[in-house]
Structure 1
Amino acid sequence: MSKWLERDVVLRLVSIGVAIMLWISVTDASILTPVDESNSTRIRDVTVEAKYDKSRFELVKMTDKVELILYGDKYTLEYLPPTYHIYADLRKLGPGVHHDVPLQVDGLPAGVKKKIKPAKIDVKLEEKIQREMPVQVDLIGKFPKGYTASVPIVNPTKVFVRGSESKLDEVTAVKAVVAVDETTKSINKLVKLQAYGEKGPLNRVDVYPDVVNVQVAVNSPNKEVPLKLEIDKGPPPGYAVESIQPKKETVTVYGPQNYLDSLQYYMGPKLNLENVTHDITIRMPIPIRDNATKVEPKEVEIYVKMVPSKTKSFETIPLQVTGVGEGLKTKILSPESGNLNITLSGAPEQLEKVDASDIKAYVDVSNLPKGKYEIPIRFSLPYHIQVVGQKDFKATVSLD
């Protein structure tokens, strides 16, 4: 007997038999223990998963809901864990229609038998292809009154759409949608892309890359108006400005629409000519004034022509009072006559054309209550003409 057991063949057969018994006891106790099919549970509309290479194929058609019937111990069925799932393994299938693909179940407890209705399904796989398409930018919303947008700049300008041929045939556009509601600032942002068909957004179509950079320059309302230059400090005695000529006579002013509607001209830089005795060309920045948000160009080149000055005197120029409050009366106390004697200086050719009607002298009493005041006298004169001979003109005025 011992010799018989010592034979290698016999020992190997015994070992294999023991191993088979152990495997059966561990992997499926139901093989050894009869399943009680009197206890069952029926689960409807179980989702069917598909295992396939999603980078290569598009699953075009497949039954996605089935019925699962389980048999086994009543307690096990009553407390069935939600770890099970039904799937169709399509990883070895190529493109086309495939019939009677078996369904499989994973995650059931030991001792539970199953039945799937239907147990086999038909599927259709299509191989994915890709096409290059331009990116279209859609601006959604309205800009504030007067604001406009330049043509959007998108980067990259073209992308690839990838999917089944039948799905790609539905694609009419790849869009980056940008909301612009009431914005007054230029846009520079990353926007996610979406493939669209005739009926709207399309699913099961991949876009590479799926994000692009979109830039939209938002232009505020603007208006082109004449550029007006002002002399802040006049030339030294004996010299006069014959002409001031900017290289560009108009500017484009940006700002709110209601501000632009009333704008007739734009006041440019103020010139300081107190040390200028000869012709000069200067370049100056154009300031941002009042409600303007931007001015183009940003600077201006100005040619100033200087000449030796001449003077011309005028007598009995009437002094006017402006800005008198309601119910008040004014009286000019000084000068007693209410008239001025002044001397003007300017370029000979221009000064010769000036007469008394071109000269306005006035004092402004706006917002002043009753009382007596000494107020600077202001002059309204032809361009490049200035008052000389007295540094400060003042008048004494009473308000009653």
Structure 2
Amino acid sequence: MDKLMNNHWVMRVIALFLALMLYASVNIESGTQANKSTSPLNTSTSSSLETAVVTDIPVVTYFDEEDLVVTGVPETVNVTLEGPTGSLLKARQQKDFEVYAELTNLSIGSHRVNLKIKNLSSDLKATISPSVITVSIEEKISKDFPVEVEYINEDKLEEGYSPDQPIVSPNSVRVTASKEIIDRISKVQATINLEGAKETINKESRITIYDSDGNILPVEVEPSVVDVTVPIKSPSKVLPFKVVREGELKKGFSILSMETDPKEITAYGPLDVLENYDFIDGVKVDLSEIEKDTVLEVDVPLPEGIEKISPETVKIEIDVDEQQEKSFSDKKIEEVGMAEGKVFDFLDPDIGELDIKIYGAPSVINDINSADIELYINLSNLSDGEHEVQVQVNSPQNITWSLEQEKVKVRISSAS
């Protein structure tokens, strides 16, 4: 072995072998690196051409919009794009290209039209679906139509409430479309929701155009929104009212007559509230301010639970005259309200009679006689024994009176 190692030919052969091995190793690695550097480029070149479908792209139509109407153009189309990944991704995200139908130079009638695309990156190819459409070009006309009001949820109004005649402003609108569409129009409608309404509704409503089958027609409307007022009629009840007199006329004067205009008030509100009222109380007149014939305008109070009244004021015409007096003697005092099984006796006055004077205008008291005046005492809820009781007077209106005594004494006992 040592001899072989010392032989220079053997060493040359070994050196040559090692050199060949090193050369081969370097070339193999270099070839691998070359493959690694070139292979991705080829892959990129082949894989960067991708396709994608972009949906719902609006279709822009070019034509004489002032004088013509076009139908048959779809609102949107789908576009299949092919190209490099970067450009494709940008186009999908931004959708900055346009699909359009060029109709500018076409005549009135029916036409087959190729949809086109613009503003698309030059390295992208596009396929439009549908790519060909059939359009109809017609002359544009305008016509005025009255506006109808359609109510919804009318059944959800509270009991007794109902809508009155609606007011629409403006009450007609101008519809612009082709003659074929104009001839199909059956109804021009504004819609109002009545649910829960208790008072006048004031709302804006969008106009909708229908054909006879209830289909909505695509037309131009001017104005497209109108103002609608719907008065809501609530349950009502006509009620008389009571005039409450406060204060006294100046000495020497009496009321000749007192007339009201109107004589009844209309009250509006829920049915269950109206049922509780037979008249309206609290219309007040201050007599202390009256010295001559007068016409007053007096507020009518709003009863509890009532939503509104009409009218809210009434006129009261008061005529006055110089006061005169008239006397009636020995007017018998009647009793009311005594419990069953009870009896009573007058103690003061023991005869149960009183004198009364009445005061009023001459034309009023001249027609009053003794039978028109009633005196009575209320004995309800009184126990056995002696009691002082207030004397009450029933008399015609527009007079005053005075009694020789305002109270009487009575004795109540059980019947034997």
Give the TM-score taking structure 2 as reference length: 0.65
Cα distance change of structure 1 residues 311 and 79 upon mapping to structure 2, 3 Å threshold: same
Which residue, out of 365, 369, 374, partners 1:352?
A: 369
Q: Spell out, residue by residue over 1:145-203, the C-alpha distance to the aligned partner (whole angstroms, 9 max, x if none).
A: 33444422222122111223322222222222222223222233333222222233624
How far residue 373 of structure 1 moved from its aligned partner, in angstroms, is 10
Map of 2:112 onto structure 1: 99
Determine the structure 1 residue equivalent to 2:170.
156
| Pair 1:304-2:304 in alignment | no
Task: Say which is worse superposed, 287-296 or 65-74, in terms of deviation.
Answer: 65-74
Q: Is the 8 A contact 1:52 1:91 kept in 2?
A: yes
Letter paired with 2:325: S
Residue of structure 1 in register with 2:61 after alignment: 51
Q: 2:138 aligns with which of 122, 126, 144?
A: 126
SS in 1 for 2:147: strand
In 2, Cα distance between the equivalents of 1:101 and 1:373? 112
Is residue 89 from structure 1 mapped to residue 101 from structure 2 by the alignment?
Answer: yes
Question: Which protein is richer in helix relative to its size?
Answer: 2
Aligned-pair distance for 1:310?
1.1
**How far apart are 1:205 and its partner, in Å?**
1.4
TM-score normalized by structure 1?
0.68
Offset at residue 131 of structure 1 (A): 0.9
Please say if residues 63 and 122 of structure 1, whose CA atoms lie closer than 8 Å, have aligned partners that are also in contact: no
Deviations 1:318-337 (A, max 9, x none): 45569x9xxxx999999797
* Contact in 2 for aligned 1:363/1:376 (Cα 8 Å): no
C-alpha distance after superposition, 1:15-50 (max 9, x if no partner) = xxxxxxxxxxxxxxxxxxxx9699552638664613
CA 1:286–1:219: 2 relative to 1, 3 Å: farther
CA RMSD in angstroms comes to: 4.8
Partner of 1:3: none
**Shift in CA distance, 65/253, structure 1 to aligned 2, threshold 3 Å:** closer
Give the drift of 1:74: 6.1
What's the % identity of the aligned pairs?
19
Distance (whole Å) between structure 2 residues aligned to residue 53 and residue 201 of structure 1? 26
Secondary structure of the structure 1 residue equivalent to 2:366: helix
CA separation in 2, counterparts of 1:67 and 1:147?
Answer: 53
User: Secondary structure of 1:359's partner?
Assistant: strand
Structure 2 counterparts to residues 210-359 of structure 1, below 5 A:
210-235=224-249, 240-246=254-260, 248=261, 250-256=263-269, 257-261=271-275, 263-267=277-281, 269-273=283-287, 280-291=293-304, 292=306, 293-296=308-311, 298-304=313-319, 306=321, 308-315=324-331, 317-318=333-334, 320=336, 341=354, 343-346=356-359, 347-354=364-371, 358-359=374-375
Kindly state the Cα deviation for residue 383 of structure 1 after the two structures are TM-superposed: 2.8
The 2-side partners of 1:298 and 1:239 are apart by 27
> For residues 286 and 63 of structure 1, what CA distance do their matches in structure 2 show?
66
Letter in 2 for 1:214: V
Gaps in structure 1 of 5+ consecutive residues: 1-34
Q: From the superposition, tell whether residues 361 and 213 of structure 1 become closer, same or farther in structure 2 (CA, over 3 Å).
A: farther
Q: CA separation in 1, counterparts of 2:177 and 2:298? A: 57
Q: Secondary structure at the match of 2:227?
A: strand
- Residue aligned with 1:166, SS: helix
For the Cα contact (< 8 Å) 1:222–1:253, is it kept in 2? yes
**Structure 2: gaps of 5 or more residues:** 1-44
Q: Distance in 1 between matches of 2:281 and 2:334?
A: 29
